[in-house]
Amino acid sequence: MTQTLDRRAALAGLIALPAASLLASPALAALSAADKALVDKATAYLQGLDAAKGRFIQTDPRGTESQGAFYLQRPGKARFAYDAPVSKLLVSDGRFVSEADTRLKTVSRYPLGQTPLALFLAREIRLDRGVVVTRVSKLQGGFSLTVQDGRKQTRGSLTLNFADSPMSLMGWTISTVQGSTRVRLTNLERASGLDPKLFATPYPEPRKTGRP
């Protein structure tokens, strides 16, 4: 049971964590002109990333690692397929994020707009609307942006990490009162012609026929 709960917590940290868990309202520092330039650079990059694929490595608050393959297609679609022995699959079909147990053939669903994934998959990427950039940090060979949603009063943050040359999303960290979950992207490459079946809702409910 503990292992199952740990896996569910780790999965939630990847993309299915309710947005309310990411929100906070500390005193916000004004961004410098250089910081704003990096925010604009990140926004333009994400806006131009229409479709991508690669691998991810996730580290949960306990330090446990899991990994798998991911596919992104804006607007609204994504797939994170975990490698064995983790029997989990996360799929966004444009409206809902489905968290499926591939062994038990069960699924839970969350509105896409209530998950951090909505930030990457919006039709128009806006880091000046809905979220507030609270920190811009230089990294070796890149930079990071820490964002929060100022509309709520709960604790937490989402930090996006970018490589500078060439410009690339390296991953993100979700920090809450339960700890931090880190996701590192590897082999990220732009993609085209992704199979629509990748983003089909797993284990959909049977259609009603109108018969009793």
Q: Calculate the CA dihedral of residues 203, 205, 207, 209 and round it to 10 degrees.
A: 130
Give the pLDDT of residue 127. 74
* C-alpha dist (Å) from residue 76 to 35, 151, 164: 28, 22, 26
Give the pLDDT of residue 114. 75
Token pair listed for 140: 């070796």
| Domains along the sequence of the chain with CATH | 2-21+31-187 (2.50.20.10)
- Flag whether pLDDT at 4 surpasses 60: no
DSSP 21: G
Give the pLDDT of residue 148. 78
What mean pLDDT do residues 140-156 have?
73
24-67: pLDDT as tens digits: 333 345 788 999 999 999 999 999 999 999 999 999 888 999 99
Higher pLDDT, 146 or 204: 146
DSSP 20: G
Low-confidence winner among 53-62, 95-104, 129-138 (lowest mean pLDDT): 129-138
Confidence at 210, pLDDT banded by 50, 70, 90: very low
Whether residue 212 has a cis bond before it, omega within 30° of 0: no
Give the pLDDT of residue 112. 85
The candidate with the shortest Cα–Cα distance to 190, out of 41, 53, 46, is 53
Regarding pTM above 0.75, the answer is yes
Higher pLDDT, 78 or 115: 78
CA distance 94 to 127: 20
Give the pLDDT of residue 117. 76
Confidence at 123, pLDDT banded by 50, 70, 90: confident
Give the pLDDT of residue 14. 56
Give the pLDDT of residue 125. 83
How many degrees, rounded to 5, is the angle at CA 63 between CA 59 and CA 65? Answer: 45
- Flag whether pLDDT at 184 surpasses 90: yes
Higher pLDDT, 3 or 52: 52
Provide CB contacts within 8 A for 169, sequence distance 6+: 45, 46, 49, 160, 161, 162, 185, 188
The residue behind tokens 């991810």 is 56
Give the pLDDT of residue 124. 86
Give the pLDDT of residue 178. 78
